[in-house]
Amino acid sequence: MSGLIPPIEGPRLGPFPGSLDDIEFLEHLNPDGDITNFEDPIRKLHSRIFRVCIGGNHYALEVVSEQKNPQLTCSNPFKFNFLTIDELRSWVSGGDMMPDKILQYSLDPFYAECRAFGLLVEKRVDHKLAVRCHGYTFLPENIEQKIEKKFGFNDWGRQPKNERRQLLRAIVKDYIGSKSFHGRIRLSAIKLKLEELNSLGIFNMNIQETSYRDGRLFDFSVSITTPHPWLCPDLRSNEHIFRNCSDDQRALDKMADNIRREKIEKLKELGDARWSGVLRPCSHVEGYGGTSQRCRKLG
């Protein structure tokens, strides 16, 4: 197994320290056994999550492929796709002048996860601000065959021109059995964790209920971790950079407001007069504080 990745400036993630020799695939965690039915419109394009047993311990194994840009035309946008460098260049202003490795290691969803979790692990806060991460791994062909045999998945979408078969890439994380968005964790606590995450220079960019497991952020496949081309003032305007930096907090505000509305509707259906007391700003939902849109100053 290789060392820390990706090999560019910035945070890096280490390899999973265990052996995959005895890996057992227990369950496909995407609903209905099909990635195209996953509620998250971003993650359904490029990852499948499995509950696995390795060395007697249960983990969540997220098998990540390069994401297909939803705005690009393709015959089947829900298949896994190994993108070319030219396709990645269309994602960022000035991409035509950017070195290949910077594009790949900054925009590829697998490396986006590695960079975000790499920083969280380095700061020893992955278990506090997100789900605990145990490292990355590459799946050899015999394990890929195990997946196909048990679940029937073989649509990984490798580029036909590749001379060498590309190994599937995966991130090993704690398995969280609860499917609840926040469980017993208050929204105010989730907000504080998100603010701390942003202050570290990690911007999730996909804050919604399906990105959480029991109050913990699980998915970082489209995240931005400094340093990053999208946060470079030479390539993008300050307005666009600030919009990216504040996206997480705006999305959480919207999510809190939706929860408030759903609570009102449920109380109305039950004929509960308490619903009128919920007609307050979303800052009062379960102790949820007001928005603090902050953009980390980038050097």
pLDDT digits (tens, 9 = 90+) for 80-114: 445 667 766 766 666 677 788 888 888 888 999 99
- Specify burial of residue 32 (Cβ count, 10 A radius: 0-12, 13-18, 19+): exposed
Per-residue confidence (pLDDT) for residue 75, from 0 to 100: 35
What does DSSP say about strands 216-217 and 224-225: parallel, antiparallel, or unpaired? Answer: unpaired
Per-residue confidence (pLDDT) for residue 273, from 0 to 100: 57
The stretches of the chain forming alpha helices (DSSP H) are 85-89, 100-107, 109-122, 126-129, 141-151, 187-199, 238-269
**Phi, psi at residue 8, to the nearest 5°?**
-135, 175
Picking from 155, 176, 197, the residue at the C-terminal end of a domain is: 176
Check whether residue 169 and residue 198 sit in a common domain. no
Give the global pTM: 0.79
Residue 231 resides in a domain: no
Summarize pLDDT for 135-151 with one digit per residue, the tens.
Answer: 999 999 999 999 999 99
Record the tokens describing residue 223, joined without a space: 């995240």
Check whether residue 5 and residue 132 sit in a common domain. yes
Cα–Cα nearest to 185, from 237, 134, 130: 130
Beta-bridge mates of residue 53: 24, 58
Residue 242 resides in a domain: yes
Check whether residue 152 and residue 211 sit in a common domain. no
When pLDDT is averaged across residues 117-123 and rounded to a whole number, the result is: 97
Cα–Cα nearest to 147, from 19, 16, 33, 18: 33
Check whether residue 254 and residue 114 sit in a common domain. no
Check whether residue 131 and residue 199 sit in a common domain. no
Q: Rg of the chain's alpha carbons, rounded to an integer?
A: 20
Per-residue confidence (pLDDT) for residue 243, from 0 to 100: 83
Check whether residue 48 and residue 134 sit in a common domain. yes
Please tell me the total count of domains within the chain: 2
Residue 83 resides in a domain: yes
134: containing domain: 1-176
Check whether residue 2 and residue 69 sit in a common domain. yes
- The 3-class secondary structure across 21-85, one letter per residue, is CCCEEEEECCHHHCHHHCCCCCHHHCEEEEEEEECCEEEEEEEECCCCCCCCCCCCCCCCCCCCH
Residue 223 resides in a domain: no
Confidence check: pLDDT of 224 > 70: yes
**Phi, psi at residue 239, to the nearest 5°?**
-60, -45
Check whether residue 53 and residue 2 sit in a common domain. yes
Confidence check: pLDDT of 120 > 60: yes
Per-residue confidence (pLDDT) for residue 159, from 0 to 100: 60
Q: Please enumerate in sequence order all residues whose Cβ is within 8 A of that of 240, keeping only pairs 6 or more positions apart, or say none.
A: 230
Residue 229 resides in a domain: no
**Phi, psi at residue 168, to the nearest 5°?**
-70, 140
Record the tokens describing residue 156, joined without a space: 């990984």
Check whether residue 145 and residue 205 sit in a common domain. no
Where is pLDDT greater, at 165 or 179?
179
Residue 230 resides in a domain: no
Summarize pLDDT for 21-61 with one digit per residue, the tens.
Answer: 999 999 998 754 343 333 444 444 568 899 999 999 999 99
Confidence check: pLDDT of 7 > 70: yes
Check whether residue 11 and residue 159 sit in a common domain. yes
Check whether residue 134 and residue 49 sit in a common domain. yes
Check whether residue 41 and residue 147 sit in a common domain. yes
Per-residue confidence (pLDDT) for residue 46, from 0 to 100: 66
Helix axis angle, 109-122 relative to 100-107, nearest 10°? Answer: 70
When pLDDT is averaged across residues 205-209 and rounded to a whole number, the result is: 89
